Amino acid sequence: MKPLSGIEMMEVMRLTRKGRLNEAMALLGGTRGAMTPSAPADSASSARTAPSAFPAGLTERWRRMADAGAVRRTGAEPAAKNAVPVPEGAQFITRLFANTAGTRDYKLYVPSKPAERDRALIVMLHGCTQSPDDFAAGTRMNELAEEAGFLVAYPVQSKAANSSKCWNWFSAADQERERGEPSLIAGITREVVAEFGVDPKRVYVAGLSAGGAQAAIMGATYPDVFAAVGVHSGLACGAARDVTSAFSAMRKGGAPSTVRGAGVPTIAFHGDGDATVNKVNGDQVIAQAKAGNDFTADRDKGTSPGGVGYTRTRFRDKRGQALHEHWLLHGAGHAWAGGSSAGTYTDPRGPDASREMLRFFLEQDGPSN
């Protein structure tokens, strides 16, 4: 495959931004206008949502890119139902946000439980091909919201922005404050905070894979908005700046900034058997978050009730508070740990990433304003 010219790379990025990923990948492979469909290599591959009409050698790279957040179902898990059950007195409502960067729908879960204090808010960023209902069902975050009385917002990535509904974490234009997708997600967050009496110091963001990478971007670009960040099977902010570098980052880690995002408390989960996003990316997420600061590290090992072994490393400041936390899940793949089989791309064996993220979030003091 001959190297692409600068003009050709610009065209790749233009097609990607338009959501025309088939054409972008064909151009990367030097086969635009000459693609022929090919059958999936095996039944497991057919469970993925990425197209297979690419030249030999590019198919798996495309799948890993397009499926960042759209991983295989585990076992014979059913797809999420069209509607997530909502208890009496609770609401799961669809809303629309617009600013100069565009528009995005989002769903907001308002629990039936009255707030004992100013409410907390968790912004949940789905993976590729997922929806708010799917992600809510898989992570069970709404159920935790009922228990603890916090709000959950689920921004929706549109097919117009990305044909696989991936957040464009790999686009340089979507890694900047008050620009592109970060401005839309931050705008949704601010809107909910203002309208629903949320404590501005108790606002958090989390995501899976492409959504996890986008959560890292939100922590890096809006440390004044988000008190803590949860990244599951994702990548650090700046790990990639275009489609080509995204492939490399997912395979062997990227070259994220060691300054951006430093200081925002971060919890990361990553399976050491993840074949979609290499486990080194979880290390880089934490390294970026704690860059420039001194921490002492303590480790403990355990096994979830479902039999998944893990190593948890906590990074403590001089006061002894664990400001960053890294969970390495042994033998686990690219799926939300401890999730429900009612949603897609989960590993119900645990440990319970949703509950651990909530615990970590509520331990933090919040951003200094």
DSSP 143-170: HHHHHH--EEEEE---TTT-TT----TT
- Looking at 3.40.50.1820, 3.40.50.300, 2.60.40.420, 3.30.9.10, the CATH number of the domain 91-363 comes to 3.40.50.1820
**β-pair type (119-125, 198-208):** parallel
> How high is the pLDDT of residue 50?
30
Residues of the chain with pLDDT under 50: 1-7, 29-80, 368-369
Asked whether the beta carbons of 324 and 265 are under 8 A apart, the reply is yes
> How high is the pLDDT of residue 304?
98
- Cα 208 from chain centre: 3
Secondary structure class of 187 (helix, strand, coil): helix
> How high is the pLDDT of residue 15?
60
Structure tokens at 257: 């900034």
> How high is the pLDDT of residue 27?
55
> How high is the pLDDT of residue 10?
53
Place of tokens 């990367």: 28
C-alpha distances (whole Å) from 126 to each of 177, 188, 238, 304, 357 are 20, 15, 19, 24, 15
Task: State the span(s) of the chain assigned CATH 3.40.50.1820.
Answer: 91-363
Provide the whole-model pTM: 0.81
Is the backbone of residue 93 left (phi > 0), alpha (psi -120 to 50) or beta? beta
> How high is the pLDDT of residue 261?
54
| Cα angle 17-23-24, degrees, rounded to a multiple of 5 | 50
> Residue 124 belongs to what H/E stretch?
strand 119-125
> How high is the pLDDT of residue 369?
43
